[in-house]
Chain A
């Protein structure tokens, strides 16, 4: 009767486990599985149970008796605690074993301890088997996410606090080393330097670095160009002597007042000994002002020229920084950015329409790609198009030409407001992308019926469309038709799926992350896009009308019977990657470098690294689902 004995011992283990959460809430089969597969081990006081050097953990541990201390290793603080003591019923390591990577903590028995051990593969099975246990583990991950957000919040709040108040001393505002020339330098040399450094003014300082003059761009026309001055003459002949100088301890407010009073755009900042410390421009002060959502909104709506729109566009970027500072999540943040960008685009279109006679034309302005998905980051370029209706008997070419002319102006104005023109010419002013509803159906239908690589690529951009302004019903009609058609061609979806699986999450077997040659990971190509591509396919299959990745995952996942926690974990993973993208773009744009999607995982703090890994693991899970569904 050997079965009887093991039943009794399994019973002893499960009796023990049911004293603790989450095991007391666990499904009976799952609990039995856990108790059956667990073995008991003993760790003498002072011995190491698990350390990062031991590599990927082979077992999940549950303390039966005694005390185990989890100690963080390395300089970066991962969580609120530096060391935490685990007692009976507590388990470790959850993050490491679910992500299948070495633990970041060292676990040491601080008392003689008995510890249950569950083999790693059984742990993963248990996660699948038990929704309760799954939630327990994902909540643990979620609590890490939350901590990360708080950390982020405090970092940015500090930055924002430094940057936003008008009481900031000017000494803190000037961060760049001042650029200046001596009074005997030639005008030519000074101008060359201005051009090379792309600066709007040149300071002239003496040998002791004390400013004695300034030459700004607006001085060039009246003083240099029109009089035809010999550029070999010294700069002191044309500079403004006795420039406006302020002390480094003066506040931004003092500077603004000085500028307003004297009508100047640049102020020289000097230290206590009168030596040049830097230059403050009107623009520097502008970014200090607190910019609210409502103000931007109303300034967009009230804008009636390009300049006002450009200002609004800069405000949107500043607002994004403020919002991150307030600890807002990636989802809300992208929604705000997207809502404001929409308003801006609509205003640009409105203004253009007054110059192009479009009265009576039924059309819709479409946004494609990331803008179509409401996932615009700060450095997205334009992707747009038009659907229109050509009434019977109308002159189609004339009508289309009118739309195109208007679209061209819109595209250019968008570019002027910080949305770069699309290099691939995916813009409404492209005649290929200004089509009637029937033409769009024909175009989409061709891609679905003959899904060659180019057609599949097109599908990934164009199927993520939404109506940004104009007649929304046109977009709805196209969506309904598209979902119906794509679903009917299962081969198309299968090829889309195989395409979506081309890029794997950058998780390594040995190292944490698989990085590119320069040590970075492209968070767009190897991160966000993995979610986006699968979500699109799920949406087509489950007939989801939304173009947003999060909505697609939520709605399609629910329709396909995915557990809510699983969907939530996927969405968290996607948001975290988006948040990292926004953050790196923001930091980059502040330094005037072009925003991109690359991050160096080594530059992240330990917590973010852990969560990023979990996010990639979620992407892998999503891909796996697709792989199974399509037998790829």
Chain B
């Protein structure tokens, strides 16, 4: 049988239908999937199946709720669909147009959002870190940003649950923060690029650690161990990576959830009482309406506010859940600057996941004259990414670029993930331009705050010191880069100053929820996905409790 016969094109038509969905672990295989009629009022319609939505879909289904996860993107079969190729794999990203503006405008697409069942976790770099406990109370404990309405001790339990579910590979002892249990799977070997970070950290007297990663270091169920092919950010074709696509989605469907791939939700409907009644979505060229008792938006920090704003109606003229006026505001990205240089040894940094080591030193050392913290990690860019760094940061082109590129196997570097401050001027709004579905595209304004700039300077200096101390020559800085999004539907204690409460339920519409990176009031100095998943796990538990108490459907 040829490939096309049994697999077909993930974009041509939906794969999850006819009572079955792709079995991501078996070429050409299917698993049975429950399906609901549009007229059947399901307990939950969840928009987006990534870190937040995928996790919630799974846990709600496992608790016995009827639930459908909608995703605008396709249902990939990693074993068959994923090439080892940077260009081909851009199919994983949200590449629909967005207008970007502002002093430090954001590069979207490949740099920060996915569009697939499994969301951005299909191409994330698997770094799975916990927040520093104080960050959950950044305002009262550290004097900046806003407090989360959550307690870190409770979150610590959910982090553990997430780490177990994802079989995180990590060290026995993690050097920073309160004690945590050892990671479920042993740490991955540190590659040559990771050793240079270690050398640099030790020279500066800083701790370092093998990075806790969401890819298995030994077989797990149907996942084989990681083979260190290094294409993690372009999709893992072996299923070693514990993405939402291979962890939460199969579990969700086994528990009775439906997944609708290639289903773009364009509008959430509300009734006269001001409650959500379901979602309008476009699948196979047709607009349809799914009835639901609850709607959860989990489209990530650009698409979530976009959908809430697009759903404006007479009763909610400024968009849904927006009585605070904060939907779309306080967008935060994370500074992602780097320092690179050359060594004599052959590093060949394309081997293994890109970040096998990390130092969180400056997340836990408060001896700095700005707010927030950052970590840095070893790097392993593939050729196009690397060429982009050389053109962008050093202005190289022509013969000089080609010559410099031939040093690829001798390059090393470290990249930060930093804590940006929330600022209402950084925001997502709707543009006049329309996309292929006839929906207004997002317009994204971004500029670093002064604090961000101070943090970035500090980090660049520290990273450069460490690289030099590790014996790296001809170091240079990548001064402009950002990744990871948050903040545009922040959670809080006060309906006037937040969009959702601690349970991710919107203050305005009792059966409308947001469960993704958008709810972060602060982003901390670590990658967000483990926290997104931990919050989703908590939300599922809270929904179960609220349902038991008959408090699920609160009136507006």
The answer to whether A and B come from one shared complex is: no
Q: Which residues of B contact A (CB under 8 A)?
A: none
Interface residues of A, Cβ cutoff 8 Å to B: none
